[in-house]
């Protein structure tokens, strides 16, 4: 099994990346190959970081031969995805949104239909917009036809929308337990 995390945080050592690593480390311990793609870096290397609808339907020309094309190949190949974002003004970062705006070609090809997708959001306060951020990422995944995964697992409880945390995430025991249950859910360890 190959699982890709899409880290939408522009901060180098972010809380989002920390939690994503916790989920992926657990998946790895259960036999998965895992990888984190730092979305801001991939967008920085693209010819155009934001979709400008240069062709309709999308030809993919704007990202051909870039790290963005490589990232798209990885998410198509992945058995499951994890999307992670800090909370910015009650929603996801511009970087993760821009990344998904650029997936128009993948949508046209139905390349992500049915792919399991899980979510992580980190805010500065306990009730800082994490659920709204996760709901916005759910919408992106559903538009791609992906299968939305929550954190429910028989060893824990029925679950939540995704892993929600208050920074610093390494001190948020509840979020850390959600990382464990999410990893088990992704790996199909009921």
Residues 95-129 have pLDDT tens digits of 999 999 989 889 999 999 999 999 999 988 778 88
Query: Would you say how long the chain is, in residues?
Result: 190
Q: Has residue 72 got a pLDDT over 80?
A: yes
Q: Has residue 58 got a pLDDT over 90?
A: no
51 pLDDT band, cuts 50/70/90, is confident
**Domain segments of the chain as ranges:** 2-186
Comparing 27-31, 52-56, 66-70, 152-156, the range with the smallest average pLDDT is 52-56
* CA pair distance 3, 10, nearest whole angstrom: 21
Instruction: Name the CATH architecture for the domain at 2-186.
Output: 3-Layer(aba) Sandwich (3.40)
Residue 26: predicted pLDDT? 96
Give the tens place of pLDDT for each residue, 86-100: 999 999 999 999 999
Model confidence pTM above 0.95: no
Q: Has residue 19 got a pLDDT over 80?
A: yes
Q: Has residue 168 got a pLDDT over 80?
A: no
Residue 160: predicted pLDDT? 87
- Kind of pairing between the strands at 163-166 and 116-123: parallel
66 pLDDT band, cuts 50/70/90, is confident
* CA pair distance 147, 118, nearest whole angstrom: 9
Residue 134: predicted pLDDT? 95
- The C-alpha angle 119, 121, 127, rounded to 5 degrees, equals 130
* CA pair distance 73, 163, nearest whole angstrom: 26
- In Å, what is the CA distance from 33 to each residue of 4, 122, 175? 9, 25, 23
42 pLDDT band, cuts 50/70/90, is very high
């Amino acid at each position: 099994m190959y699982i890709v995390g899409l880290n939408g945080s522009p901060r180098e050592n972010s809380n989002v990346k920390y939690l994503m690593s916790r989920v992926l480390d657990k998946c790895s311990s259960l036999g998965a190959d895992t990888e984190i793609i730092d979305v801001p870096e991939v967008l920085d290397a693209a010819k155009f970081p934001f979709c400008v609808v240069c062709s309709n339907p999308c030809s993919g020309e704007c990202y051909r031969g870039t790290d963005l094309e490589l990232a798209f190949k990885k998410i198509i190949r992945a058995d499951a995805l994890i999307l992670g974002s800090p909370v910015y003004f009650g929603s996801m970062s511009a970087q993760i949104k821009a990344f998904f705006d650029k997936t128009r070609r993948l949508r046209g090809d139905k390349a992500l239909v049915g792919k399991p997708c899980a979510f992580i959001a980190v805010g500065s306060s306990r009730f800082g917009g994490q659920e709204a951020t996760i709901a916005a990422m759910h919408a992106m995944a559903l538009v791609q036809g992906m299968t939305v995964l929550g954190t429910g697992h028989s060893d824990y409880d029925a679950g939540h929308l995704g892993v929600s945390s208050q920074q610093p995430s390494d001190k948020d025991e509840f979020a850390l337990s959600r990382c464990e249950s999410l990893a088990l859910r992704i790996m199909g360890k009921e």
